[in-house]
A and B are shown apart, each in its own frame.
Chain A
Amino acid sequence: MTRSEDHQLVARVVSGQDSEAFGELVRRHQSHVRNFLRKLTGDFSAADDLAQECFMRAWDKLHTYSGSGSFIGWLLKVAYTTFLQSKRKSKRYAEILEQVGHVSEVESRTIGAQADEVSDLDKFLAVLSEEERAIMVMSYACGLSHREISEATAMPVGSVKSVIFRGKQKIRTSFDIKDNQHG
């Protein structure tokens, strides 16, 4: 999976609205995007819905990809924005439900999904804030560089570094990860 191949496919899509080339881009990167969203949401089916929405947005905005950074970095930026917007929407939905006296379905569903299966990674992610989680996943699960994460999250590189540092500290203080490794 090379960067130049990605760029060629993007050029084919942008120049001729080539859905086959876009399909190839989706096939190449779906795993990374879905993994990223699954770790952020903790809910596989919601993550897959978001991933689909993310790729549709990517199709609409592909002409804005300048080609200076990696395509997966740009794609994760779209995925992160999609995640944040959906979160804002479901928060508003929950507020409206609360106003009319209903228990928040969204909230109870998420808690249910989390209670089903809790892995070590889920426990680690639970101590992090949303922003820290997104950045740690981009860094450790998707292998993005600090500069790529900075572009994806619209944060300065220094802030990205300090968020990663803080995230690691939090994990270290909440769990003895060395013990976890040997235990």
Chain B
Amino acid sequence: MISKIINMAERKKDEDDRLLESMFASESIADDGFSNRVVTQVRRRIWLRRLALPVATVVGALVSFKPLAGLVKMLSGFVALVPQDILSLPTDVVPQFSLLLLGAALLAACMVGLRVLED
């Protein structure tokens, strides 16, 4: 019953509708710097987001410096476990090969960490 009444009311835009439309109609509000304020806030937010990751990385690096140093020490112990044949071959060509290997492992770990932070 109610839906029938609603459908009947919907069928035509009656006088009440037109009156309500004219009563609800209002003049458009002048911008008066409103959009500039919003854009300024948006730009500030973009900068904050851009800075957030490097700042978090630096702070994280400072906080985790000591444990990381311990990790490096431990990993260098693992490098010693790599058979000498494998290490000695490139060491002849590239000196400090073992350090490069360690650096690559750390870089990979950092990249994974950054991706996790970004997500």
Q: Which residues of A contact B (CB under 8 A)?
A: 17, 19-20, 22-23, 26-27, 30-31, 34-35, 38-39, 48, 51-52, 55-56, 59, 120-121, 124, 136-137, 140-141, 158, 161-162, 165, 168, 171-172, 177-178, 181
Pull 25 A–B residue pairs with CB atoms less than 8 Å apart, ordered by A. A19-B39, A19-B43, A20-B39, A22-B38, A23-B39, A23-B42, A26-B38, A27-B35, A30-B34, A35-B26, A48-B34, A51-B34, A59-B45, A121-B24, A124-B23, A137-B24, A141-B24, A141-B26, A161-B6, A162-B6, A165-B9, A171-B20, A172-B16, A177-B20, A178-B19
Say yes or no: B39 contacts A177, CB within 8 Å: no
Say yes or no: A177 contacts B34, CB within 8 Å: no
Alpha-carbon gap, A3 to B17, bound state (A) = 25
Q: What is the 8 Å Cβ interface bit string for chain B, positions 31-56, against chain A (1 contact, 0 not)?
A: 10011111101110110000000000
With known contacts A52-B37, A59-B42, A162-B2, A34–B24 Cβ distance under 8 A? no
Say yes or no: A52 contacts B24, CB within 8 Å: no
Which 3 residue pairs spanning A and B have beta carbons closest together? A140-B24, A141-B24, A31-B28
